[in-house]
Amino acid sequence: EEIVICGHQVEPVGVSIASSTISTVLKWESSQNTHYIQFFIGFTNYLLP
């Protein structure tokens, strides 16, 4: 059994990033804006195990 909470998939064997969260990040458009790039790097670092 599994459940998705706040973008994380919780299973009896552990916690991982939900596939819907990963697909959302992959669909983001690239930007040359420094603030956006800093946000993106911070967000993706949060997703790392």
Token code pair at residue 47: 């997703």
Q: Answer yes or no: are the C-beta atoms of 9 and 2 closer than 8 Å.
A: yes
pLDDT tens column, 1-47: 899 988 889 999 998 888 888 888 888 888 788 998 898 888 888 77
> d(Cα 37, Cα 3) in Å, to the nearest integer?
31
Distance CA 10, CA 2 (A): 6
- Residue 42 in tokens: 């911070």
Measured at the CA of 28, the angle between CA 24 and CA 33, to 5 degrees, comes to: 145
Can you give the pTM of this predicted structure? 0.56
> CA-CA distance, 37 to 45, in Å (whole number)?
12
Q: Is the pLDDT reported for residue 49 higher than 80?
A: no
- What pLDDT was estimated at residue 34? 92
